Chains A and B, each alone.
Chain A
Amino acid sequence: MARIRLDGIAHSYAGKPESDRDYALKPLHHVWEQGQAYALLGPSGCGKTTLLNIISGLVIPSEGHLYFDDVDVTQLPTEKRNIAQVFQFPVIYDTMTVAQNLAFPLKNRRMDKALIDKRVSEIAQMLDLNRDLNRRARGLTADAKQKISLGRGLVRADVSAVLFDEPLTVIDPALKWELRSKLKSVHRALNLLMIYVTHDQIEALTFADKVVVMNDGRAVQIGTPAELFERPDHTFVGYFIGSPGMNLLPASVAGTRARVEGGEIQLGAAYPALPSGKRVQIGVRPDYAVLTTGAGLPVKVKRIADLGRKRLAYVSLGGQPLVTSVPPDMGSIGEDAKVAFDAKHTLVYADDIRVEGTAS
């Protein structure tokens, strides 16, 4: 059990990086607190697996230092780091039974036989594997195999952290839910630091206390699911989290008002000193841009998507496409409509970075 600190960790697979683009992972400072569940969320190739492998020691970073508590482990090989990792595809030892598979990490560390048996049966119980303990692991289904992989990750009680590299990719959707909630309860029961890599935002948001959103080798925002949703620090987070993502409209901002496509809207804060020469956008989630019969900006409705619990309208504001929500009590919608923005949830971005407003 430990706190893991990244001090300017960066990595480039192609030797000495010459420009920013050579980095698979750009310099990163972060502290992973003991007992927390984190998710690393980002599209494929954004550097999240690289970061995970650096923590586990499968990859040695080209720059920076990695600390477990206060010990520098940057150059330490994996087997000396006391870390567990579960991979995307189930890794099982073919010739062993389920119980032997689970016991393997403990046996390699020469733990006492009685202690191993106790620990194995605990973990098997936790993961519903106790009926198959004496079967050969090879004949089992993919999700049972992945449960064994998870079990091998969790069986060592003293690990600094358990790392998951998209562990539910091969699992059926119905079982995914079950395994994910199992993981959550295991996390609560064991009080371990867990880091979970995924490109699935639902998985990240439901599993983690804190989510690290990554893009293009950079950690774009670190926050709770609510923070990521309500206050994305970067337009990428706005677009990547939420389905559909945040609307982004080019605008000019003066004080507490923004001009968008010829119309004017009210903002929740004042932006007196917006840096000049930067591309200014306003961002608003579809949940906070609502079609209205009252005052609002005129839009042309393109189509309505009925999602069952709610309806979304795909409209255009001037020339800009926009997704808005439709109030449940709204009746027939013609081609012309009006949209109202919730001022508190209309955010301002300069060159893709969110600008903090001052109270007006």
Chain B
Amino acid sequence: MTTKPVNNYAWFFVLPVLAFVMFSSIIPAMTVVNYSVQDTLGANSFFWNGDTAFRALLNPTTEIGARFNDALFRTLAFSLTCLLIEVPLGILVALCLPRKGWAVGISLVLIALPMLIPWNVIGTIWQIFTRADIGLFGAALTGLGLPYNVTQNTISAWSTIVVIDVWHWTPLVVLLSYAGLRAIPDAYYQAARIDGASRWATFANIELPKLQKVLVIAVLLRFMQTFMIYTEPFVVTGGGPGSATTFLSIDLVKIALGQVDLGNGAAMSLVYYLITLTVCWVFYTIMTQLERRRDA
């Protein structure tokens, strides 16, 4: 029997991080919890409201509940659309990238470029780019006779936000997949050639299984980011036309800061947070458990 050396000094070194997390996450989160169970009539006087805000939020027959429901549905649809485009597209691009030579560096930098642009600039770039009068994209589509108008046409607005996200974040999936593909030893491809596997069989039986781990990460990251999308619709469509692109984050800001409805805003942000957390946890657990079951 060996005994592990125990040294409680280690806790001491964790303290700075704990302090940082305290101020960056825990205290702000608790403030939100505090707001969510109170209501105010202004003048900084708060009173106890219990779970009223939560009840209203989760009941679609109330005004706020219906609004939350719509925004939630819109956001989920947006996330799903983006994932369905970005993940296959990212893998496809990663498969097409060169494996060696001078072209590797150049193509990786070009691919990663959209991710390097500051988030607040993204919105502005696309706002101008999609304008029907002076924007290259908008003017070109209008010139082709397509009914393209980001501020008035729902389909235009929606597809523009999706295109922005695909343009901005597919590179992340590409880079992750590319790293995963590069980690596959040459012997696997050689064995596949010896075994007479077609391109598709090689992809389905070697590349995709080996990519599984990075793809779980890619899907999680992309889900969280698309589910929290804010800047792009805020700048480009302003949540419109009507409420067509009013995703949860946009609605949350409208309620909390626009209407200064702190109680409902806080309750909404907590539920929003819990949904993100739950979806990620369920997805991750299913993916990892499924593999373990099959191995046994």
Contacts and interface: CB of A to CB of B under 8 A. Distances in A.
A161 to B, nearest CB: 11
B24 interface: no
A266 interface: no
A93 B194 contact: no
Interface string A103-127: 0110011000000000000000000
A83 interface: yes
Nearest to A152: B195
B85 interface: no
Contacts of A87: 187, 190-191
Contacts, number: 55
Nearest to A81: B194
B194 A78 contact: yes
Interface residues of B, number: 19
A153 B198 CA distance: 17
Interface stretch (B32-40, B70-78, B203-211, B278-286): B203-211
B296 interface: yes
A307 B190 CA distance: 43
B188 interface: yes
Interface in B24-48: none
21 contacts: A56-B194, A58-B193, A78-B193, A79-B194, A84-B194, A87-B187, A91-B188, A93-B205, A93-B206, A94-B209, A94-B210, A95-B205, A95-B209, A105-B196, A108-B196, A108-B198, A109-B196, A136-B294, A139-B295, A149-B191, A153-B194
Given A95-B209, A108-B197, A149-B191, 16 more contacts: A57-B193, A58-B190, A78-B193, A79-B196, A83-B194, A85-B190, A87-B187, A88-B187, A89-B185, A91-B188, A94-B210, A104-B197, A105-B195, A108-B196, A138-B295, A139-B296
What 10 A-B pairs are tightest by C-beta distance, nearest first?
A: A108-B196, A139-B295, A91-B191, A105-B195, A94-B209, A78-B193, A87-B187, A93-B205, A95-B209, A79-B196
Interface of A: 56-58, 77-79, 83-85, 87-89, 91, 93-96, 104-105, 108-109, 136, 138-139, 149, 152-153
